[in-house]
Amino acid sequence: MFQFIKNGTVTSVQGFKAAGIHCGIKRSKKDLAIIYSDVPCNAAGTFTLNKVKAAPILISQKIIANKNKVKAILVNSGNANACTGEQGHNDALDIQSSCAKKLGINPDEVLISSTGVIGQLLPIATIIRGVNKIIGSLSSTGGLDAAEAILTTDLRLKSFALKVQLSTGVITIGGICKGSGMIMPNMATMLAFLTTDADIDQPVLQELLLMSVNRTFNKITVDGDTSTNDMVILLANGNSGIAVLNDTDDYNQFLIGLNKICEEMAKSIIVDGEGATKLIQVTVNSAKTIFDADSIAKSIANSPLVKTACNGADANWGRIISAAGKSGADFNPLNTNIYFDDLPVMLAGYKIVLDEDKASKILNKDNFSISLNLNEGDCSATWWTCDFSQEYVKINANYRT
């Protein structure tokens, strides 16, 4: 049994508190968030692969690598603390220490995260005043405030929670995230913070998170860019008293639940992508290897020609098969079928069966799928992307000028 909770968030999970406030990095919007658990949590995390890593990435990555127990995640928006050198690193450590001191815990129990402008030093005094204030605001209903405070120019709040039935009871997973925002000078930053009351050892938790991220957050693309600040964190406080052990049915159930909530979070980022008007699922089936399926799905999801055609509801299957062909994957295009939702478009042997009217109806929806069947093996992969609109270019060309 899996059940999404209405208005669910990180504090829908027992034992977690959160808060989100305006501390003064941004002019008036909320810009500081905290997630907190009284009980020390096992913590798993995945971090940007960009060589240019913001200071908070380096600091939080070390905590996860050391398998430290964690009690808090402190996040600021409005400033990424990236490309800020030694001063930026020291600033991040100072903020972490201040937060830990105020909470009466060790600095190593506080994960930190930033998103926003790069190449500018943090307003350190402002943030430390904010830290002192936000801890007084911690509440078991503060999840949505935190979800708001991590946004940059996202247009929508992204907050979810899911109940998962395991063999001995129900556990909950909550999550908040942010997607591509526009800051000067910016890039899209993807942040996601998840909580659960399941009791899961750190190595198992880390493995579960990696598997889920690889199937969800790592399968979305707005414009193929990877930020300096991308981060996904999952905290498990064990408050439910329900243990999830390796190689059990409960492990599989938990993984399915984690995939479900991460998929919803990932899709919510795409739907709110810059200039996006459509959510497009790209699925490749019956490939010889996962690598082949994944390369083709990724190549189609990242192709500006496919994404612009989707924007114009143009049933341009030639761009789809060409994007598949340039992916580097091993397949024979002569065996390939292409579908829009369930509508066959091209069948093996380049047989074109496209019904333009039916295709147009599908491509004009705000949510549809492009599927390829390679007829060569048993492997599949799915990516999610958005269309590429004139608005995307407008947002990204003209923000500063």
Contacts with a copy of itself, residue ranges (CB under 8 A): 49-53, 82-85, 118-119, 184-188, 223-228, 302-305, 308-309, 311-319, 321-327, 329, 331-334, 346, 349-350, 352, 388-390, 392-394, 396-401
Q: Which is nearer to a copy of itself, 3 or 322 (CB)?
A: 322
Considering the complex, what minimum distance in angstroms separates the CB of residue 6 from a copy of itself? 36
Q: Which is nearer to a copy of itself, 137 or 289 (CB)?
A: 289
65: Cβ contacts below 8 Å, ≥ 6 apart: none
The amino acid at 393: V
Q: Which is nearer to a copy of itself, 106 or 396 (CB)?
A: 396
Considering the complex, what minimum distance in angstroms separates the CB of residue 345 from a copy of itself? 10
Considering the complex, what minimum distance in angstroms separates the CB of residue 318 from a copy of itself? 4
CA-to-CA distance for 165 and 170, rounded, in angstroms?
4
CB atoms within 10 A of CB 279: 21
CA-to-CA distance for 280 and 320, rounded, in angstroms?
13
On the CB side of 193, CA atoms within 13 Å amount to 29
In which element (H, E) is residue 271 found? helix 249-271
Return the closest-CA partner of residue 16 out of 192, 145, 139: 139
Considering the complex, what minimum distance in angstroms separates the CB of residue 367 from a copy of itself? 18
348: Cβ contacts below 8 Å, ≥ 6 apart: 334, 335, 336, 337, 375
Q: Which is nearer to a copy of itself, 42 or 295 (CB)?
A: 295
| Catalytic (active site) residue 189 | yes
- Residue of 9, 48, 172, 189 marked catalytic: 189
The amino acid at 1: M
The amino acid at 15: G
Q: Which is nearer to a copy of itself, 246 or 332 (CB)?
A: 332
Considering the complex, what minimum distance in angstroms separates the CB of residue 358 from a copy of itself? 15
Kindly list the catalytic residues. Answer: 189
